[in-house]
Amino acid sequence: MGLFGSKTKSLVGLDIGSSSIKVCELQLVGKGANARYRLQKLGLAPLPADAIVDGDIMDSNAVASAIRQVLTEQKIKAKEVAISVSGQQVMVKKVTFPLMSQAELAESVRWEAESFFPAGQGLDSYALDYYLIEERASDGNMDVVLVACRKDKLEAYVSCVAQAGCVPKVVDVDVFAVQNAYEINNAGGNRDEVVALVNMGATFTNLTMMVGGKSVFWRDMAWGSSRYSEKLMEDWGVSREAAELLKRNQAAEGREPEEVHPSINAVSDAFADELTRTLDFFKSSFKVDRLDRVLLSGGGSMSYGLLEILGDRLRVAVERFNPFSLIEVDGRTEDPVTVRDIGGAAAVVVGLAMRQVGDR
């Protein structure tokens, strides 16, 4: 199975996160310029702590059980799903090649990939895929995205999904899924913008840089919203469940949100430092001299004060991304409260639900 999949049948989006399983089912209605998506199903099931650690599945039984639970709760009968991977064992790189045939490109990709892997590791340890972004006859070049994932990680995810009774037809990458969700919700937007799509999950933060409507840079940062919980547990002696509430500015276990704001802000400041360094690297590498907007998604986007701190540090508009802004939500078939509560944390699963069997 390729990392991008092998357009005929829609899939159920299945986001296997470090702290929860999310599912989404979309219906494509209309054709051509009038085509749009309608939300059919959306749900979430929490995962036990340490079921997934640093993106690696440690307890496949617990993960498979959570997948079955959320599919049953949402009464989703379809078994063919699109999943995604992210983290330190997943690598994404844009490469420019001279114009060549598909056969020549396949061979060139393999040669390029040899310099892509960590020292001592090679093609035997990784699943490799690529996607042709653009052919430019004007300068005789073509842009290609290379993606590699450790085979053992990929096999663990596929096996766990199969254990839950599902069939993974597409394996995507989190950064691409977020990009898909952004593009379908940005119809008619400013195509000349430089936009940072920042998706903060529990363990990793996915970053995609959009320049002139095209993605040019991808990075997974080993930084997630679990750092807020760990800081609150350490500083205030609260449980993990209470920390989850406190970081969203809700009282818990006798602690008022105002008490713990210094701890939350300290984590946000550290994340702002990390994000600033990554954005500076991007600007210098791609000779981009500005950043117009940051769109923040993922469960971490709900952390108290994060948007304001990032806005102050980056000196740009920082907004919370709504992956349902241009998707029809029918209150008769889907609970608006569920949509509101999951909110930006659904960016990956919405992007996955847009995938179809056989597309790339």
Write the DSSP assignment of 137-175 as a string of letters: TTTTEEEEEEEEEEHHHHHHHHHHHHHTT-EEEEEEEHH
Q: Which two tokens stand for residue 127?
A: 């699943």
CB-neighbour burial class of residue 245 (10 A; exposed 0-12, middle 13-18, buried 19+) = middle
Residue 13 is given by DSSP the state: E
Q: Are residues 176 and 47 in the same domain?
A: yes
Q: What is the dihedral of CA 348, 349, 351, 355, to 10 degrees?
A: 140
What CA–CA distance (Å, rounded) separates 324 from 52? 27
**Radius of gyration of the chain from Cα atoms?**
20
| 55 dihedral zone (left: phi>0; alpha: psi -120 to 50; beta) | left
Q: Are residues 40 and 177 in the same domain?
A: yes
Residue 103, in any domain of the structure: no
Q: Are residues 47 and 171 in the same domain?
A: yes
Q: Which two tokens stand for residue 7?
A: 């357009």
Q: Are residues 276 and 217 in the same domain?
A: yes
Strands 20-29 and 12-16: antiparallel
Q: Are residues 344 and 215 in the same domain?
A: no
Q: If DSSP codes are grouped into helix, strand and coil, which group holds residue 210?
A: strand
Smallest Cα–Cα separation from 149: which of 107, 102, 113? 113
Tens-digit pLDDT profile for the chain (360 aa)?
455 454 456 899 999 999 999 999 999 888 877 888 999 999 999 999 899 998 999 999 999 999 999 999 999 999 999 999 998 889 898 899 999 999 999 999 988 888 777 767 777 889 999 999 889 999 999 999 999 999 999 999 999 999 999 999 999 999 999 999 999 998 766 668 999 999 999 999 999 999 988 899 999 999 999 999 999 999 999 999 999 999 999 999 999 999 999 999 999 999 999 999 999 999 999 999 999 999 999 999 999 999 999 999 999 999 999 999 999 987 766 677 788 889 899 999 999 999 987 776
The gap between the terminal CA atoms of the chain, to the nearest Å, is 12
What CA–CA distance (Å, rounded) separates 6 from 1? 7
What CA–CA distance (Å, rounded) separates 264 from 305? 8
What CA–CA distance (Å, rounded) separates 8 from 358? 7
The CA-CA-CA angle for residues 79, 82, 83, to 5°, reads 115
Q: Are residues 167 and 293 in the same domain?
A: no
Q: Are residues 62 and 177 in the same domain?
A: yes
What CA–CA distance (Å, rounded) separates 110 from 48? 39
Query: Token pair 């920042």 is at which residue?
Result: 198
What CA–CA distance (Å, rounded) separates 44 from 334? 13
pLDDT of residue 305: 97
Using CA of residue 7, residue 168, residue 206, residue 285, what is the dihedral sign? negative
Q: If DSSP codes are grouped into helix, strand and coil, which group holds residue 234?
A: helix
DSSP β-bridge partners for residue 85? 173
202: containing domain: 189-321
Residue 146, in any domain of the structure: no
Q: Are residues 179 and 52 in the same domain?
A: yes
Query: Token pair 């078994």 is at which residue?
Result: 79
Q: Which two tokens stand for residue 173?
A: 């990458």
Q: Are residues 156 and 261 in the same domain?
A: no
Q: Are residues 80 and 58 in the same domain?
A: yes
Q: Which two tokens stand for residue 22?
A: 């999310």
Q: Are residues 326 and 261 in the same domain?
A: no
pLDDT of residue 1: 44
Q: Are residues 170 and 227 in the same domain?
A: no
Residue 77, in any domain of the structure: yes
Q: Which two tokens stand for residue 132?
A: 């042709």
pLDDT in tens, 174-230: 999 999 999 999 876 666 899 999 999 999 999 999 998 889 999 999 999 999 999
Using CA of residue 208, residue 209, residue 212, residue 214, what is the dihedral sign? negative
Q: CATH no. for residue 223?
A: 3.30.420.40
pLDDT of residue 124: 85
What CA–CA distance (Å, rounded) separates 137 from 141? 7
Report the number of distinct structural domains present in the chain. Answer: 2
pLDDT in tens, 304-324: 999 999 999 999 999 999 999
What CA–CA distance (Å, rounded) separates 188 from 62? 42
CA distances for 11 relative to 167, 306, 324, 359, angstroms = 10, 33, 18, 11
